[in-house]
Structure 1
Amino acid sequence: MRSHARRTVLGAIVLATASALVAAPAAQASTAGFTATDTKKLLTTTDLEAITTAGEDGVWAVGTARDSPFVARWGGQAWKSESWTPSVLGGLSAVAAAGPSDVWAVGTRLSLSRQPLPLFMHDNGSGWTTVAGPPDPEGGGHLRSVAVAAPDDVWAVGTAGPDATPRPYAAHWDGQSWQEVTLPDKQSGALSSVTAAGPDDVWVTGEADVVLGTGQARKQAIVAHWDGQRWTDVPPAEEPGAPEGILPIGQRISAAAPDQVWLVGQIPQTSRTVVQRWNGSEWTRGPALPAEQARPGNAGLSADPSGVTWVSNSAKNSVTGKPRPVFARWCDGQWTDVPVPSTVVTGNGGAVATTADGATTWALVRTGTTGTPVVLRYNRP
């Protein structure tokens, strides 16, 4: 069950590209790096998938442990696991906070018949509880991402229907209940990420199955925007090398401001990932990532209002051949490599979360369930 739960609740997140058809530049060397935080009190069977922060007094990481949802909170000196009621079989894939006493986590739960269904969990400052969602979607479903625009304006996205033929799925919390929201003309595919630049300013991305004018079936990235009244498709910029110049897969989206939204996608045909930015009126390509972040793979994305953006990915260790985490920080018009402690020798760069002022950044290293979870911290020099 554990491998199945991880496979179905995870949202792929990968990054990179160029703003023009040029080779990606090497990142500048960094004088500061991550430090490893104390996770000794967490279960070694824990697989962490997402992290969020509401400031120095509120940091949460979520995932799966022993086939059940898992939540950990930073206590200032060490990470401690938190409990919830009632007990659930499944796992968590995303977490977002409106404040220190208002946190949402979503993922997948298993019904008595072992059918995967959307899972909603909330902490109002008094502890974690499961929250009833919309009526269970036909064929089951999974939640992959959650974003908080306001305490009464929360969005969660993923898939509904059988795993073999899913459809995009979105739900909205209005302060009283969760309701399913239908995106127009999205009959098949998946939503992988949601972000909120503010109330009535929400973006989603994912992938849809479409038939082009040539009659060929293709994957096409879903990029849509909610303005408080309706959803509107906002196609990303053309990507040279992609079939017909269409970005096939949108994997992660993050908003720093209404005119600063970052999009990460993948072009399987060229074995590369790409990043685009929304400037308030259109999507543009770039900026080019360093080569290590430009490779396909599980990655993380975090954009904050201070103008700093992070991406993570994994590179191959030239000696052992195993993956090693790599992180890059966009600031002042360039990417900077941010070193990882030498004790973190294997794993994939995972989810990243940054405080609103950009002063502190938290990051996961995906190690699976092979040992104590790894959570890193970076303090701006």
Structure 2
Amino acid sequence: MAPSPSSPSPTTPLREPARRRARLLPALAAAVATASLAVISLTGDPAASAQPAPAAAAHTGTWQRTQVPLEKGDLTAVSALSDTQAWAVGYQLKSATSLDAVALRWDGTAWTQESTLPKNSFPQALAVRSAEDIWVVGSATEHWDGKSWTTRALDRDPAGRVVPDAVATAPGGQAWAVGRAMARSVKDGVPAIQLWDGKAWKRQTLPDVGAGELNGVAVVAPDDVWAVGAVYGDDEKPPQTSLLLHWNGTAWKRIAAPDPADAAHWLSGITPLGADDIWAVGGSAVGSSERPYAVHWDGTKWAATTTPDVADGRLRSVGRSADGTIRAVGGKGSAPVTLRWNAPDKRWDMAPGPGVVVRGFATVPNSSRLWVAGIATHGDLVPAVTRYTDAR
């Protein structure tokens, strides 16, 4: 996560998702100012992810730090294919003014550095279809074929330079990247979506929603894709409102979000459990007071769900483990937050947190394990990855 070109004050909720970029040392600001997270992306073909939810089990697991081969930097995204195959991407700080974009691989026992990404990659999001088919997006869009990274140029957009914040794989070798297109800065950015058709990225025509951005994308089927983010307000409107866009195989359409009245709100992450069971999470704010925000799609409409009143409890990602437990993670600064869906009572409850500043979150297919990547809550840019393991 690299710093955004324009940073609002800490008390302003406007464009929070864009501020999910990693805070590198001030001396690096000039080097990464052109860089643009979702940290939830599907692993493998989306259809394989939509498994029936088993009954939720007792929550007896713990978060444990794993050792990473980086002393200083930041890890911005993580994704897993199995308990013995996971990847994380981010930055390794080489000096006060120099860094490398890196990809790490988990083999079931340890993290090792698998590769260095091309210069100026500034990775923000990760989607893994297989060990030979990985997408990373940020200030550039890179593809890993199992041996090397190749930069794949995005299609030109009349609104300006496209900066993708999230990516998800789709059947048939396709992939979707979402973010924003900017003429000058984040302030004039508009939502942008591109489709990799197997040969090139193609710009998608979107409804005109004004200034805004997209921060998450989820693929249910080739004709059922969702993208989430925010629309920026003005002096006569709430400073920010949630944005939900849906692809029906033919066109992108805006779908109404169940926004809280008289509050700013945004969506940062989304995951599909089925065509009629989709979760999206983000934050809402009145003035400088922020809290978690989570909505659910039942196949017909989106509905807001009850979340605890957690200070700085903005959510970034959501996912379901193999035991049926649905968790959402996020937080602001060094105060990470984890919520667990309490289905019988139809509300979100507080749960033990990962103990790191959350950048990326991933479930592990057919496992109760989870991954969170980011930086340590203490220290100066200490890369960290924690794993949730069921103690049973």
With normalisation by structure 1, the TM-score equals 0.77
Bigger mean CA deviation after superposition, 137-146 or 54-63: 137-146
Provide the secondary structure at the position in 1 that maps to 2:199: coil
Counterparts of 1:54 and 1:268, CA distance in 2 = 35
**Which residue of 2 is the match for residue 363 of structure 1?**
372
**Which residue of 2 is the match for residue 166 of structure 1?**
189
Alignment of 1:312 onto 2:329? yes
Does the 8 Å contact 1:102/1:151 carry over to 2?
Answer: no
Mapping 1:1-381, distance limit 5 Å: 2-3=28-29, 5=32, 8-10=35-37, 30-39=59-68, 41=69, 43-66=70-93, 67-84=99-116, 87-108=118-139, 119-135=140-156, 139-161=160-182, 162-163=184-185, 164-209=187-232, 216=237, 218-242=239-263, 248-269=265-286, 271-286=290-305, 288-292=306-310, 295-297=312-314, 299-303=316-320, 307-314=324-331, 323-330=334-341, 333=344, 338-339=351-352, 344=355, 347-367=356-376, 370-380=380-390, 381=392
Cα deviation for residue 256 of structure 1 reads 1.7
Does the 8 Å contact 2:39/2:78 carry over to 1?
Answer: no
Counterparts of 1:306 and 1:226, CA distance in 2 = 30
CA separation of 1:338/1:274 partners in 2, compared to 1, >3 Å: closer, same or farther? closer
**Which residue of 2 is the match for residue 25 of structure 1?**
none
CA separation of 1:64/1:203 partners in 2, compared to 1, >3 Å: closer, same or farther? same
Counterparts of 1:238 and 1:84, CA distance in 2 = 41
Bigger mean CA deviation after superposition, 171-180 or 370-379: 370-379
CA separation of 1:350/1:329 partners in 2, compared to 1, >3 Å: closer, same or farther? farther
Unaligned residue ranges in structure 1 (runs of 5+):
14-28, 109-118, 316-321
Does the 8 Å contact 2:375/2:381 carry over to 1?
Answer: no
Counterparts of 1:7 and 1:361, CA distance in 2 = 32
Bigger mean CA deviation after superposition, 146-155 or 328-337: 328-337
C-alpha root-mean-square deviation of aligned residues, in Å? 3.2
Does the 8 Å contact 1:210/1:219 carry over to 2?
Answer: yes
Counterparts of 1:222 and 1:73, CA distance in 2 = 34
Does the 8 Å contact 2:259/2:265 carry over to 1?
Answer: no
Cα deviation digits, residues 328-364 of structure 1 (max 9, x gap):
33365465655458xx5xx423321012334221112
Cα deviation digits, residues 220-242 of structure 1 (max 9, x gap):
32101111111121111242443
How many residues were matched structurally?
336
Cα deviation digits, residues 201-234 of structure 1 (max 9, x gap):
111111223579xx64753321011111111211
Unaligned residue ranges in structure 2 (runs of 5+):
1-26, 41-57, 94-98
